[in-house]
């Protein structure tokens, strides 16, 4: 039985996408505005992109943000994958309920509470705030998202493949490296991208854990917007939208190809 695509569904879908993406389209259009006033169109120009490339404050903040996002997402992916493996494959062990609750708690905890608690922790142990503390904070909350993504893939994983590798003489680590990890790679990549995006987007937690010389790009944008939206911010936002879009599309294509290759290998193994 096929469902008809009614006008109501088409209208709802149109308004939904317009609500989500129309502000981004307007922002991208006005990033090419020649006028310094962001609400007055004065012709097409790319001069604000050139001004942005000469703005050392934004460039320094962008470098700090990129460095924090790369390191924290990588560490969070490793720790999150380990946590997911322990939850799914660890069976019943002492403290499992507490461990599971600690994994899922940051997903629902307000950013203000988490940022404040991390700030108090760093102050109590005498750790100066800077890039390192931001990396620790971002790793703390983003690894939970990675754990959820990888756990869902491990839960549907066919363990007979691992058992076959163990029967053929592989050690548990070799079986994980040669069999499990390639199969769950799309989920691991998705978790890394999610952690990377969350780190790029974070403002609240970074504002609590950053120092004077470690201003991230969201903090810099927020501070600049309070004085008024400039065309340089529109240009910077457009660049971020393009980078994130390219990353998401590339990851989707890689994951799709990995899934197709996995299905082909499974079919070949069956035949």
- Name the percent of the chain lying above pLDDT 90: 14
Q: Give mean pLDDT, residues 214-218.
A: 87
Confidence of residue 40 (pLDDT cuts 50, 70, 90): confident
Query: According to the model, what pLDDT value does residue 27 have?
Result: 85
Q: Which residues pair with 44 in a beta bridge?
A: 33
In the block, tokens 């992109």 appear at 49
Find, among 148, 155, 144, the residue nearest to 183 by Cα: 155
What number is the average pLDDT over the span 17-33?
86
Q: What is the pLDDT of residue 1?
A: 46
Work out the mean pLDDT of the chain and round it to a whole number.
83
Burial of 161 (0-12, 13-18, 19+ CB in 10 A): middle
Residue with structure tokens 């790679």?
A: 185
What is the reported pLDDT for 269?
A: 62
Provide the CA 80 distance to its chain's centre, in angstroms.
Answer: 13
| 47-74 mean pLDDT | 88
CA 37 to chain centre: 33
State residue 271's pLDDT score.
62
Q: What is the mean pLDDT of residues 246-267?
A: 74
Average pLDDT over residues 6-24: 85
pLDDT at position 3 is 59
Looking at 1.20.272.10, 3.40.50.1820, 2.60.120.200, 1.10.3720.10, the CATH number of the domain 45-270 comes to: 1.10.3720.10
Range from 98-107, 137-146, 165-174 that averages highest in pLDDT: 137-146
Q: Where is pLDDT greater, at 70 or 190?
A: 70
Mean predicted confidence (pLDDT) in 94-118: 84
Name the pTM for this structure.
Answer: 0.79
What is the rounded end-to-end Cα distance, in angstroms, of the chain? 33
pLDDT tier at 4, thresholds 50, 70, 90: low
Q: How confident is the model at residue 93 (pLDDT cuts 50, 70, 90)?
A: confident
Higher pLDDT pick, 255 / 71: 71
Q: Which has more pLDDT, 224 or 265?
A: 224
For residue 97, the Cα-to-chain-centroid distance in whole angstroms is: 26
Taking the C-alpha atoms of residue 20 and residue 28, their distance in angstroms, rounded to an integer, is: 14
Task: Give the highest mean pLDDT range of 65-69, 226-230, 238-242.
Answer: 65-69
pLDDT at 86 over 80: yes
Percent of the chain with pLDDT over 70: 94
């Amino acid at each position: 039985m096929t469902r008809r695509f009614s006008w109501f569904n088409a209208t709802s879908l149109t308004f939904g996408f317009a609500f989500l993406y129309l502000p981004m389209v307007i922002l991208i259009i006005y990033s090419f505005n020649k006028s310094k006033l962001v609400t007055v169109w004065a012709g097409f120009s790319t001069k604000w992109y050139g001004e942005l490339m000469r703005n050392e404050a934004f460039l320094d903040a962008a470098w700090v943000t990129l460095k924090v996002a790369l390191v924290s997402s990588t560490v969070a992916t490793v720790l999150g994958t380990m946590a997911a493996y322990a939850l799914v494959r660890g069976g019943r062990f002492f403290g499992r309920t507490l461990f599971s609750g600690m994994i899922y708690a940051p997903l629902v905890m307000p950013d203000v509470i988490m940022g404040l608690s991390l700030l108090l922790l760093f102050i109590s142990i005498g750790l100066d705030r800077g890039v390192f503390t931001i990396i620790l904070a971002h790793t703390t909350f983003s690894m939970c998202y990675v754990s959820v993504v990888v756990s869902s893939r491990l839960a549907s994983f066919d363990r007979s493949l691992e058992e076959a590798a163990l029967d053929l003489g592989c050690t548990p680590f070799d079986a994980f490296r040669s069999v499990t990890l390639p199969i769950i790679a799309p989920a691991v990549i998705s978790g890394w991208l999610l952690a990377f995006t969350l780190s790029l987007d974070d403002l609240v937690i970074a504002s609590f854990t950053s120092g004077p010389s470690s201003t991230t790009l969201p903090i810099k944008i927020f501070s600049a917007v309070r004085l008024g939206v400039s065309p340089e911010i529109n240009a910077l936002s457009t660049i971020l939208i393009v980078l994130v879009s390219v990353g998401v599309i590339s990851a989707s294509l890689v994951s799709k190809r990995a899934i197709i290759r996995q299905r082909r290998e499974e079919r070949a193994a069956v035949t």
